[in-house]
Amino acid sequence: MDSVTRKKQLQRYEPPEWVDGLKIVPKYKVQLANANTPIQRWYLPGIPDGVEVYIKRDDMLGCELTGNKARKLEFLLADAIHQGCTSVITCGGMQSNHCRATALAARQLGLHPHLLLRSPPNPGTDVFCGNALLNRLIGANIYLIPPTAELVPDIIPRMKQLATRLNNKGDKAYVVPTGGSTSIGLYGYIDGYNELLTQGVDKFSDIVVTTGSGGTTAGVAIANYLTKSDIKVHGMVVSDDDQYFHDHINETLKEIGLFDRHGVKSEDIVDLIHEVGGQELVIGDGYGIATQKELEFIASVAKSTGIILDPVYTGKAALHLVKLLQRNPQRFQGKKILFIHTGGIFGLFDGGMDAVLKTSNSLHEWFHLNDEMPR
């Protein structure tokens, strides 16, 4: 696709008036997501009586672009196209939803995707399934990095080097940092919150969102603050810890000018939940590591409500939401809680769930023999 055709995809972004005066407001977006996702009552198993849980179906933002990344990428890739870039570089794990969504969206918009992916601990295991399979299907350029590579000393310099190499070849590169959680990507959930306003978000007492790289939580919490809402925003922390994300959100607040102008701090606008009951970590055994208990929870939610959670983000967040409510039934009595489902379904196809289903259900339970069919 040539640059003129690419630029024709840019749409003027009309920001809500409550962002007026912020230092960073994007001028353009592109259309990637199927917005206005529904909100439904969610009969999540284990919820104490007297609490209502609802689910915002951002897993329905798209098919292959399912989940929160579609909203962020509408702004990030518009910025890339506006700057005249032809390639996009980003990084993550082999089963990263963010990398898959970035690569797919880039292909749809006529940009070349380049992904720095942490190689799996057992080579060859999960490179032909889930998100990794989609990356290969669309021919993303993949660069393997060691599983132990760290972001600041290892990965960021490699992304910069790759950008320089591409630029030298006349291919202008746009680097999307981890998870797309920049002050431009933030607008994915400023826009997402604006959508919630049209859906009557003020009937909820609490919003719960999964915190992986921080951008979604930052967008929801900042929009909630700017609209002077009384809703409490909670981020379920599934990587690093709460302090890391308060620091990240505080950086964002500085960049957009809210810290200097109004002294707003992350600690005042979002409750980041790292552990429940003073002992159980939301992250479980570690970022990207799904335990048997977490996978069994995902299977039970799927069986009882038809909602498919993912093993890295939403499964851990929903499991610990249930635990939080069970430990504090008084605090949440009469509350209406909105859980934002941020997608991630392709992560379920990494093989981990197969073993759980095989042990938790006998084959006989799954497959009914012909003579057992109801007549």
Ligand X SMILES: Cc1ncc(COP(=O)(O)O)c(C=O)c1O
**Lookup result for tokens 């032809």:** 86
Q: What character string, x for contact with ligand X (CB under 6 A) and - otherwise, covers 58-87?
A: ---------xx-------------------
The reply on whether position 315 binds ligand X by CB under 6 A is no
Minimum CB separation of residue 344 from ligand X in Å reads 3
**Lookup result for tokens 């009586």:** 49
The reply on whether position 288 binds ligand X by CB under 6 A is no
CA distance 238 to 287: 6
Q: Which of 79, 242, 310, 350 binds ligand X (CB under 6 A)?
A: 310
The reply on whether position 211 binds ligand X by CB under 6 A is yes
Q: Give the DSSP H or E segment for 219.
A: helix 215-226
The reply on whether position 352 binds ligand X by CB under 6 A is no
Q: How far is CA 306 from CA 183, 246, 309, in A?
A: 35, 34, 10
b/e string for 206-228 if b means 16 or more Cβ within 10 A? Answer: bbbbbbbbbbbbbbbbbbbbbbe
Q: Cβ(351)–Cβ(67) under 8 Å?
A: no
Q: Closer CB to ligand X, residue 166 or residue 322?
A: 322
Q: Closer CB to ligand X, residue 204 or residue 339?
A: 339
Q: How many CB atoms lie within 10 A of CB 44?
A: 24
Q: Closer CB to ligand X, residue 3 or residue 40?
A: 40
Catalytic (active site) residue 360: no
CA distance 194 to 29: 15
The reply on whether position 314 binds ligand X by CB under 6 A is yes
The reply on whether position 342 binds ligand X by CB under 6 A is yes
The reply on whether position 216 binds ligand X by CB under 6 A is yes
The reply on whether position 93 binds ligand X by CB under 6 A is no
User: Which residues sit at the interface with ligand X, rule CB under 6 A?
Assistant: 67-68, 97-98, 179, 181, 210-217, 310, 313-314, 342-344
Catalytic residues: 96
